[in-house]
Each structure stands twice: as C-alpha cells, then as structure tokens.
Structure 1
Amino acid sequence: MLVNKNLGILERSLDAATLRQRTIANNVANIDTPQFKSKQVVFEDLLRQELTGTSRQNLEAYRTDRRHIPFAGSGGKAMPMVMSNPNNIVQNNGNDVDLEFEMNEYAKNQIWYNGLTQMTAGYFQKLRSVIEGGGK
C-alpha cells in the first residue's frame, strides 16, 4: 500500500532529473576543454515506451511461483542513461558544448524537478491524511 507503481515512477524520474543536473553541470564545466564531447540524459522516451507497452524490455522473467522474487531488471524498469549528443556542432578545438543549449536544458530540468517534488509531496500528504483519518 505504501509503495505503488506511481511512486516508483516518481522516484526514477527524480533520479533522472538529478543525473541530468549533474550531466549539464559537467558539460558547462568543460566548455573550454579541448576535444570534450557533451553528454545528455535519456529517460523520458524510455519511460513513455514502458508506460505505453511499446518497449521491448517489457518481458518479465519466467517464475514458477508468483511469490518468487522477479529477476533484476525484469518488467521494463526504464532507467536514465547518459549518452553523447550526436547532433551538436563541433567547434575548432573539438569541443561541442553549446552554453545556450545547456542553460535552456538546465531551466527545463529545474522546472521538471520542482514539479516532481511537488507531486511526491502531494502523494505523501494524501497518505498522511488517510493515516490520520481524513480531515480531523
């Protein structure tokens, strides 16, 4: 009852937002490093595929009893991944960090993170209300 699918999705989304923040900070910190290749976090498309059932990772491992613990990674648990930015334009020094793009991604990520924390807080507030017996 305390842990459900939605809470797990919120948790993984917060992890992705945190990883994205670190990745953006690393990109910006290396803006003047020759030959540095920027990275990006991929998560939302993987999560969308999981939720719509279009992911190839949705196959669960065969269990002989429903009480058996599922294999790690089964069930299509989308996790954030750090990947190279293939479409960035490379500068003369081989670096492909675009400060304007990174700051835009930072702002979007900050808004997304704030929304996720509000949703998580709302979930626990509702749970607390139920535990305390409603609006006493």
Structure 2
Amino acid sequence: MLESVVTAALTSALNSLSDRQNAIADNIANVNTPGYRAKRVMFEDALAASVKAGDGHVAATTALSLEPTQTNGNNVNLDTETLSNVETTLRYQFAAQAVNGEFTSMRTALKTQ
C-alpha cells in the first residue's frame, strides 16, 4: 500500500507524542527523586522539515531538561509537566482523529471503485 506524506507524518506524530507521554509520566513519577533531571521529547521541527522535504518520517529525540534544579538536584516542575501532559493529550487526540479521517477517505475511495 502506498503511504502518503500525510499518513507518514501523522504516524510519526502519534509515535512521538506517545514517547512524550512516557517521558512526562517518568518525570512526574520522579518528582521527588534527588538528582533526577526531567526529560524533554522533541520532534516538531524535524517533522516540519521532513514534511517539507516530502517524506514525513521522523523519530523523536529525548534530551534532559536544562531548567534550573532544586537544592536536591531535581528539576521536575509539576506545573510544567501537568500543562505539557494536557497539551500532549490534546495533540494526540487531534492526530488520531486525522488518521481516522485518512482511513475513512481510503475506505470510501475503495468502495467506489
């Protein structure tokens, strides 16, 4: 089956957003762990460049947060993580709906053939 740039980009976004959800969960679970550095998952710029190049396939990258640390060396901010979690969930839902729309369009096209 031929994969469109849109389908590839949406699949990459869903995978990367899932990675971000896992990182947020790890961060929240370690909010009181001394020396723990929050993880940040990035993919948006790479995805935009990949779509512009006509591909749509990217993998997320994970880096440690450079935010200031508390006295125990931990830099997890529960407010930041909560806000990021809400935003990531909404983006995931939007991308999942878009994928569903893509497949609905394909099913409709195949039925008319």
Q: Please give the TM-score of this superposition, normalised by the length of structure 2.
A: 0.91
Aligned to 2:74: 95
Unaligned stretches of 5+ residues in structure 1: 59-74
Alignment of 1:72-91 (within 5 A): 77-86=57-66, 88-91=67-70
RMSD of the TM alignment (CA)?
Answer: 2.0
Aligned to 2:34: 34
Unaligned stretches of 5+ residues in structure 2: none
Q: Please give the TM-score of this superposition, normalised by the length of structure 1.
A: 0.76
Is contact 2:8-2:56 (8 Å) kept?
Answer: no
After superposition, the C-alpha distances for 1:102-130 in whole angstroms (9 at most, x for unaligned) are 00000000000000000000000011111
Aligned residue pairs total 113
Matched, 1:127 2:110: no
Q: In proportion to residue count, which structure has more helix?
A: 2
Q: Once the two structures are aligned, what percentage of the paired residues are identical? A: 28
Q: In 1, Cα distance between the equivalents of 2:103 and 2:2?
A: 9
Give 1:45 shift.
Answer: 1.2
Q: In 2, Cα distance between the equivalents of 1:15 and 1:23?
A: 13
Give 1:76 shift.
Answer: 8.4
Q: In 2, Cα distance between the equivalents of 1:18 and 1:128?
A: 26
Q: In 2, Cα distance between the equivalents of 1:47 and 1:132?
A: 32
Matched, 1:49 2:49: yes
Alignment of 1:15-30 (within 5 A): 15-30=15-30
Give 1:49 shift.
Answer: 2.5
Instruction: Say which SS state the counterpart of residue 63 (structure 2) adopts.
Output: strand
Structure 1 residue runs of 4 or more that deviate by more than 3 Å after TM superposition: none
45 and 89 in structure 1: CA distance in 2 versus 1, 3 angstrom threshold = same
